[in-house]
Each structure stands twice: as structure tokens, then as C-alpha cells.
């Protein structure tokens, strides 16, 4: 069973009792971030802490290590001396400088149960090169638990963190090791199964106390952290960015529905080649984990091809891989985007032979669309802002390239948005075309699935077009991926329900 600690960070002392009660109701441990308080009354806090019927971690973080309000060395000393009467079942979190001082031969008297002390170190900029030396120094103290939190900029930055957890297991030391930031998410999810003392989960969205901290509900319901062990099969999506992806929600829901010991994690990957070599390939990787396969999204669908041992011939024609399966000591590559794209289109319009199709975009998704349309004998034209890319793709698939933005899509039966325009966030107000340009088009198909109603689809409705959003493609290609990874057919309604629930939230 994973131990999940919920941190409490409030500004006003009057907010603290209610916040502690709410956290204690769901958490295994509650961390009180006393440095968040604008007024710190040590004796009042001591009485409150000793009345809570749940183990606490009490923290007064220094400004240098992420404290919310400034506390110099002397104020931190006084705080801990005032809290010397803290109940024995609670933990105190001390930075290394205070651990050294309070444990030194000439430190004076601070009655402390050292096995309940967490000696902590934080780096909010990077993963330092001397991580092993930092661990050695902390391990030389009498503290019962070591905490090291560093910042990951890429998924491969998690390797030294997992290495520390393995070392702590061998040395018999209690270690809490976390890589902060989106790129470090896997350490929060997989850490407890690899010996981490605990992991952190915020009480709700936006209430986290460190970069990359997910909610308690996500840890328990989405990732099923209490069921993860060293035998859990691990799957994930690699890309940059991946935080918006619905894939963890649809695949984890499917694993749960089928009772599979598996988890799906988003991996923020900038350097795909290093990630594939150091963390994925069974013959080369530096991490001992039961990785079963990956979904691949932008910008890595072409980059990963060179790192694979076997590739489905369709992938070579498309020029993109979106699914990797680990088979024995090899990596096999597939493309489920094409099948996922074409199935909803066939359901909507029937046979596509000679259908006049405009594909807007020239990336990996567009390549899959054009390839699939060619298999259907549709008549296809490519539109892209970069005319050179459009012409290159057109030559590759022996179709025609058109200038973009087009004055009109009149004359086309189907217009497909294979660009990120319209995606939730900074591009939500953008569209590849307006209603006037779409006049006369039979169907508008947007591969963007978040939001479900994009500006492009609103313009298409205004023009009288039938519309198709990207959710069905996401689900169809996800089903094909799931079958490749597990050999099992997932329930599409489970996937659809979870995706809709996430989008509503």
C-alpha cells in the first residue's frame, strides 16, 4: 500500500483547523506547511497539532528551499525549539543545515526523536550532478528519513532519482525521492512501489505545494497507486507537451475495468532518442521496470522510427509511428492513427472512393490521414502554411498540394483539420477556415478533441456542414493500441465515458 501525504498550505491561522480536518479525512499522512502562514504562533500550533488524530509532518521551509514566507535561520531555530513537545507519532521535516546543527556535539539541547526526523533537500532548478554526494551527506546524519526533491526538465532526468531509491533499498535507508515538474510525474506514481517512503497528493486541483504535484483523487482513482507494485506493467505516452492528453484517462480506465495490473503514465520527453535508449529499449535501458509499450505523439512520431527493431510496413509508408510494443528484447512500431482516423469517417459517410478530401496540415497526423484516404481511393489535396512541406508531402503520397490559407474549400466533400489550431489553451480561438470558406463542404472533420466543439466545427455548422470531432478518432486509435499492448479488446464505452468525464472537468 502506498503512503500518500496531503500537504496543507494556508495563509491565515484561522483556516488551518478546517484544512487539517479535510486533509486528515483522505490522507495517510498530512504535511503542515507552517511556512505558508503569515503569522506563526508556535504554541498555538503545538496545541492544534497534538489534537489532530492523524500523523502529521510539520514543515517550516526556508526561503531557499521553497518556503512561501521568509524565515531566517534564527526564526527556524526558535520554531523547532518551541515545538519540542510535538507528539511522538508526528514527523518533523528539517533542512540539512538544521539537522547538522541540532545533531552536532555542541548543538545545545533540542529533544528530538531522530527516527521521526525527515532530513530534506530541494533543488527547484535541476537535477544536480552530485546527487549521490548529497545523499551520502544526508545519510551520515541521524535522521530516520531522507527527502530529496529535484526538478526534472525531461523524463530521463528521473533516472538518477530511481537510482537513489534503488540505492536506499540496498542500504536499508528510508528515502523520499521525487522529481518535481511534469517531467518528473513518474517518480510520484511509481516511487512507492520502488521503496519511496511516501508520495504527495494535493487535496484538490490548484492546491499543490510543488511543481508537478497531482491530486489525491488522481493518484487513487486515475493511477490506482495502491495497486502498483514491481510486477505492474507500465505503459505511457511520450511527447512534448503531454499534460493535456486524455490517453492516461482512457487507458487506465480500461485497465481497471478488465482488472489488469497495469498503469498508463504521461512521459514529458524532449530528447526522444535518449529516452528510447536509456529508458525504453530492453537491451539498453538503465531502468529495471516492466515497460510494455508506448503511445507516441508530437513531435516524436518520426524520430522514434530509427530506434525500433521492427516496423509495420504501413508506418514506413506513412513515415510516422504512434504505437510502440515491447516484445521480448525488441521494440516493434505501429501506426494506429490511420485506422483510428478512417473508421469514424466511413461510419459517417460510407464508402470514400472518389470523395474529394482536403487535409490541412503536414505533420505526423496529416501523413496518417493522407495515407488512409489513399487506401480508400479518395481524391486528396494537402494544404499547409509551409508550402514546401505541403509539396513534399504531396510528392510523397502522389497527391496534389494547394496554397493555404485557401480562399475557399468549395468543391471539396470533406475538410480535415490535422493541425493543432483550435486546441484548448492559447490556440482555442483559431480555426483553419471560416464559414464562408466552408460553404458547400459536405463534412468537416477536426482531429482536435479538446474542446469537443472547436471554432472550426462551429464555423462548419454555420456553413451547413456535417461535423465530426476528434474524440472518435482518439477512441478508435486507442482501442487498436490497447489490443496491440495487451491482446485484449477494451470496452469503448468505458473509454468514452472517462474521456467525457475528464473533458467536463
Nearest-angstrom CA–CA distance, 396 and 390: 10
SS3 at position 394: helix
b/e map of 207-236 (b: 16 or more CB within 10 Å)? bbbbbbbbbbebbbebbbbebbeeebbbbb
The long-range contacts involving 100-104, CB below 8 angstroms and separated by at least 24 positions, are 100/141, 101/77, 103/141, 103/142, 103/143
Q: How far is CA 198 from CA 4, 141, 420, 443, in A?
A: 6, 20, 38, 51
Smallest CA-to-CA distance from 337 within 247, 440, 207 is with 247
Cα separation, 383 vs 110, whole angstroms: 72
Q: What 3-state DSSP class applies to 129?
A: coil
- Bridging pattern class, strands 323-327 and 330-334: antiparallel
Catalytic, 301? Answer yes
Cis peptide bond upstream of 241, omega within 30: yes
Residues 280 and 307: their CA atoms lie apart, in Å, by 10
What distance in Å separates the CA atoms of residue 61 and residue 118, rounded to the nearest whole number? Answer: 12
User: Mind giving me the DSSP string for 235-275?
Assistant: EEEEESS-TT-SHHHHHHHHHHHHT-SEEEEEEE-S-HHHH
Catalytic residue among 301, 353, 455, 466: 301
Neighbours of 327 (CB within 10 A): 14
Question: How do beta strands 29-33 and 56-59 pair?
Answer: parallel
Q: Which residues are catalytically annotated?
A: 301
Amino acid at each position: 500500500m502506498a503512503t500518500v501525504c496531503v500537504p496543507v498550505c494556508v495563509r491565515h491561522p484561522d483556516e488551518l483547523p478546517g484544512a487539517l480536518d479535510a486533509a486528515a479525512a483522505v490522507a495517510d499522512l498530512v504535511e503542515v506547511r507552517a511556512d505558508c502562514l503569515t503569522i506563526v504562533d508556535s504554541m498555538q500550533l503545538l496545541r492544534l497539532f497534538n489534537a489532530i488524530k492523524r500523523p502529521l509532518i510539520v514543515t517550516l521551509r526556508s526561503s531557499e528551499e521553497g518556503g512561501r514566507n521568509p524565515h531566517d535561520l534564527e526564526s527556524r531555530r526558535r520554531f523547532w525549539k518551541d515545538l519540542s513537545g510535538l507528539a511522538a507519532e508526528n514527523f518533523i521535516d528539517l533542512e540539512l543545515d538544521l539537522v547538522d546543527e541540532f545533531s552536532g556535539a555542541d548543538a545545545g539541547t533540542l529533544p528530538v526523536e531522530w527516527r521521526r526526523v525527515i532530513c530534506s533537500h530541494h533543488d527547484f532548478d535541476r537535477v544536480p550532478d552530485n546527487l549521490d554526494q548529497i545523499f551520502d551527506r544526508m545519510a551520515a546524519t541521524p535522521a530516520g528519513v531522507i527527502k530529496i526533491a529535484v526538478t526534472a526538465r525531461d523524463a530521463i532526468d528521473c533516472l538518477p532519482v530511481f537510482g537513489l531509491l534503488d540505492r536506499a533499498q540496498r542500504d536499508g535507508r528510508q528515502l523520499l525521492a521525487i522529481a518535481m515538474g511534469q517531467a518528473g510525474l513518474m517518480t510520484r506514481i511509481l516511487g512507492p512501489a520502488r521503496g519511496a517512503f511516501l508520495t504527495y497528493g494535493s487535496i484538490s486541483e490548484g492546491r499543490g505545494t510543488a511543481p508537478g504535484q497531482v491530486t489525491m483523487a488522481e493518484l487513487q482513482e486515475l493511477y490506482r497507486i495502491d495497486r502498483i507494485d514491481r510486477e505492474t506493467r507500465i505503459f505511457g505516452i511520450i511527447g512534448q507537451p503531454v499534460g493535456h492528453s486524455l490517453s492516461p484517462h482512457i487507458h487506465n480506465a480500461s485497465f481497471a475495468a478488465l482488472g489488469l495490473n497495469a498503469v498508463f503514465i504521461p512521459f514529458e520527453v524532449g530528447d526522444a532518442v535518449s529516452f528510447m535508449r536509456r529508458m525504453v529499449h530492453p537491451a539498453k535501458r538503465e531502468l529495471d521496470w516492466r515497460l510494455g509499450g508506448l503511445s507516441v505523439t508530437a513531435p516524436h512520431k518520426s524520430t522514434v522510427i530509427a530506434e525500433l527493431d521492427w516496423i509495420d510496413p504501413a508506418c514506413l509508408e506513412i513515415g510516422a509511428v504512434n504505437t510502440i510494443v515491447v516484445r521480448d528484447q525488441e521494440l516493434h512500431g505501429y501506426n494506429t492513427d490511420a485506422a483510428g482516423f478512417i473508421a469514424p469517417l466511413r461510419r459517417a459517410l460510407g464508402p470514400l472512393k472518389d470523395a474529394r478530401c482536403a487535409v490541412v496540415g503536414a505533420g505526423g497526423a496529416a501523413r496518417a490521414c493522407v495515407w488512409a484516404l489513399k487506401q480508400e481511393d479518395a481524391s486528396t489535396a494537402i494544404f499547409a502554411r509551409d508550402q514546401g512541406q505541403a509539396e513534399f508531402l504531396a510528392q510523397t503520397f502522389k497527391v496534389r498540394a494547394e496554397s493555404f490559407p485557401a480562399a475557399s474549400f468549395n468543391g471539396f466533400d470533406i475538410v480535415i483539420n490535422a493541425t493543432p489550431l483550435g486546441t484548448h489553451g492559447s490556440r482555442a480561438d483559431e480555426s483553419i477556415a471560416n464559414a464562408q470558406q466552408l460553404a458547400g463542404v459536405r463534412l468537416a472533420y477536426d482531429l482536435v478533441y479538446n474542446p469537443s466543439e472547436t471554432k472550426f466545427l462551429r464555423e462548419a455548422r454555420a456553413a451547413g456542414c456535417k461535423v465530426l470531432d476528434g474524440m472518435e478518432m482518439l477512441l478508435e486509435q486507442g482501442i487498436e493500441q490497447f489490443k496491440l499492448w495487451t491482446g485484449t479488446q477494451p470496452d469503448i464505452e468505458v473509454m468514452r465515458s472517462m474521456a467525457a468525464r475528464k473533458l467536463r472537468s
